[in-house]
Amino acid sequence: MNLKIFSPKDFPAYLPKLNSLYDDLFAGGKGFRSKLVQMVSNPLGLPSETQQLLCQTIEFVHNASLLHDDLIDRSQLRRGKPAAWAKYTPEYAVLAGDYLLARVMVNLSSFGNIKLVQFTSETISDLLEGEWLQDSVVGDFFVSLEQLDRIHNLKTASLFKWCLRAPFMAAGNNDVELHRTLDEMGTILGQLFQRSDDLLDYDIRNDEGKAILGDLKSGYLNSFGAFVTRNMNRAQIDQMVKSSDLNEYYQCFAGGEKEFQEYVAKFDAVNEKMIQLYDHHLVQLEAKIQKPELVKSLKPLTEILYWRRKPKA
Amino acid sequence: MSTMNLDSPEETVTFEIVEKSSIKRPSVFSTFFALIKFQNLFLILLPLFYVLVKNYVDNRFRDPGTCMIASLGMLFIFAALNIRNDVNDHMSGYDRVNITHTAKPINKGWITADSASNISWILTMIATLIAVPVMYRQPEEARVIAVVTVLIFAGRLLSKNSYKNQRWGEVIFFILAGPGVISGYQVALGAGVDTEGLAFGVLWAWGIQFLVHLNNFSHILTSSQAGIKNTMTNAGFDKAKKILIGWWCAFIVLWVLYHYFYASTFWSYLTTAILIFWSIPTFIKISETSSPLGSDLAEAKQVGYRTFLLMCVLIVIEFYWYLGNKNDWFI
């Protein structure tokens, strides 16, 4: 599926560097969100053109946020390549992000589903609020997990909610109860994805080779960090902030690495409860929509997103 | 339990079902003290101390017995209103949105909302019974009670959540917490309402309202998302900080005015200087708060609360001095 071009007016060739910037941006992504949209759209029998529009929408919104996010964080690399702002100038990165969001509105409004347009606009708004709030807590090493959950609900979970709900909206199913369940499932998936991503920072299930303690060094206490610091005193937190590698980080705990691993196990146990809740919502969903194939395909998502392993066959 | 979308069509509340036996409950006394917010009792006891000392010094200590009975009634109505407030916060979902470190017995499952509501009614009835002999001994008290009752019910009718979270509710709360309490004590003591007492009532209410604003400020994001209206959410994060600082500055001005008219020069200068000195960290902390969500908010609340407590300590020392002077304790 060509996500880049939905309308012939997408990405005019006369704009310098525009197409090469987008080619770079879309080349390395896994396209997980668009796959999720397809996963929901297929059992609903949505036409392929509608599916393409939905997939493009979510990938454009996601990539727009990456373009802006990399510039805000001054991240030099994105998916192993130079970030757009570093390669093409910050000005082009900002404009390219804005342009993606504008194309989303142009293409989506032409579809004629006002509820979907409104929902997408709210999702973008939530995403930006989340980014804004996250930026405001940089340097705050006493932020609580509950507070970070609120940020992640806006920043990360909003897109997962969209992936689950938008295909139903496009199919004309606006049942309030159904969307409430989907919303809750999207929240859980987003939180799990974010928490798993935050664990990579501590080299837990880090098969992607993400930079170790990157968040902490940027002054951002992520969800696992907040989970751990709940029981730390000020001196321990000060020591933790100064850690330059994992060995130094382990020294913040009285029991060293062993105690750190115990925290990881406790964190996993907390998230396992969230997974149980997700499974509970799946049962509710099946009762509401009578589409066992959809429920079956959504079931392994927690395995993929949190545990980062392929689901058992 | 938690919710992130209170008052929206998609509101979802997540419950965790646990074994009843796994809920750790403190003792009945601890639950009761948490329910009536025992730690906040000083908010009505300090005005009582003020009224007793002021009228003793002014030789208007006419009916201490009735005043003591009225104070007992005040304790019961204070406890009843605090419990009612918690019940309303629970029913509206406010306590699920604005999570605080203060123990909330209903939210924690120590007591059901229904039982708490019943306790609140019982305490209200006891307070009403206590009011009867007070009104018999001091008929003027009936007027004060009537005004206060009307204001409480008006506040309930106006409010959606609890009336400290509505703009008009804030005005009602202001009148009740300051001039209302002072007038009640004054009349019960047989001293009648006077301008000095009312001036102190305004000063006191201004201070308490600062605490209310500070508390609302610490929940500004979650309250705004839940559509809760109060001065802080209406102002927004940046303006709210200015309002808080301005509010406490105005408090200091009121403090100076009160002391200029009704206190000795020595205490005016001394307490004002200490108060200003202690207020500086509060101003700095509030103005430096950079996020509507992080730990800064809790710290700002703590610093502001400490400044308020210091102000209370200053009042106690100052009035203890007046009391001692009257009885020649310091000679």
Q: Which two tokens stand for residue B11?
A: 């509101």
pLDDT at position B166 is: 61
Overall pTM surpassing 0.90 (yes/no): no
pLDDT at position B167 is: 63
HSE (side-chain half, CA atoms, 13 Å) at B164: 22
Q: Do A140 and B292 touch (CB under 8 A)?
A: no
- Return the higher-pLDDT residue of B247 and B32: B247
Q: Do B221 and A277 touch (CB under 8 A)?
A: no
pLDDT at position B126 is: 94
Q: Which residues of chain A lie closer than 8 angstroms to B16, CB-CB?
A: 273
A80 alpha carbon, distance to own chain's centre: 18
Q: Do B295 and A150 touch (CB under 8 A)?
A: no
- Rounded CA separation B68/B86 (Å): 27
Paired with A81 in beta bridges are: A78
- Rounded CA separation A93/B290 (Å): 27
Which residues, other chains included, contact B21 with Cβ-Cβ below 8 Å and sequence gap of 6+? none
Query: Do B137 and B70 touch, CB atoms closer than 8 A?
Result: no
- Percent helix / strand / coil, chain B, rounded to 5: 75, 0, 25
Q: How far is B15 from chain A (nearest CA, A)?
A: 10
- Rounded CA separation B294/B289 (Å): 9
- Rounded CA separation A243/A251 (Å): 9
Task: State pLDDT tens for residues B178-214.
Answer: 999 999 999 888 888 899 999 999 999 999 999 999 9
pLDDT at position B5 is: 54
B48 alpha carbon, distance to own chain's centre: 14
**Please, which pLDDT band fits residue B297 given cuts at 50, 70 and 90?**
very high
Question: Is the pLDDT confidence value at A155 over 80?
Answer: yes
Most trustworthy range by pLDDT among A68-77, A273-282, B321-330: A273-282
pLDDT at position B101 is: 63
ipTM beyond cut 0.95 = no
> If DSSP codes are grouped into helix, strand and coil, which group holds residue A82?
strand
Q: Do A184 and B12 touch (CB under 8 A)?
A: yes
Full DSSP string of B138-191: -TTHHHHHHHHHHHHHHHHHH-SS-GGGSHHHHHHHHHIIIIIHHHHHHHHTT-
Domains plus CATH for chain A?
10-112 (1.10.600.10), 119-313 (1.10.600.10)
Domain boundaries, chain B: 20-324
Q: Worst-scoring range by mean pLDDT, A184-188, B224-228, B253-257? A: B224-228
- Return the higher-pLDDT residue of B173 and A302: A302
**Please, which pLDDT band fits residue A273 given cuts at 50, 70 and 90?**
very high
Question: Is the pLDDT confidence value at B11 over 60?
Answer: no
Q: Which residues of chain B lie closer than 8 angstroms to A180, CB-CB?
A: 10, 12
- Rounded CA separation B159/A68 (Å): 42
CA-closest candidate to residue A186, choices A125, A60, A277: A277
Query: Do B97 and B3 touch, CB atoms closer than 8 A?
Result: yes
Task: State pLDDT tens for residues A53-76.
Answer: 999 999 999 999 999 988 988 888
- Rounded CA separation A53/A309 (Å): 29
The residue type found at A274 is M
Question: Is the pLDDT confidence value at B230 over 60?
Answer: yes
**Please, which pLDDT band fits residue A130 given cuts at 50, 70 and 90?**
very high
Interface of A with B in 116-135 (CB under 8 A): 133
- Rounded CA separation B3/B12 (Å): 6
Q: Do A151 and B16 touch (CB under 8 A)?
A: no
Q: Which residues of chain B lie closer than 8 angstroms to A160, CB-CB?
A: none
Q: Which residues of chain A lie closer than 8 angstroms to B221, CB-CB?
A: 133, 150
Q: Do B295 and A140 touch (CB under 8 A)?
A: yes
* Bridge pairing between strands A81-82 and A77-78: antiparallel
pLDDT at position A307 is: 93
Q: How far is A282 from chain B (nearest CA, A)?
A: 15
Q: Do B4 and A150 touch (CB under 8 A)?
A: yes
pLDDT at position A31 is: 86
B21-32 core/surface letters (b: 16 or more CB in 10 A; e: else): eeeeeeeeeebb
Q: Which residues of chain A lie closer than 8 angstroms to B6, CB-CB?
A: none
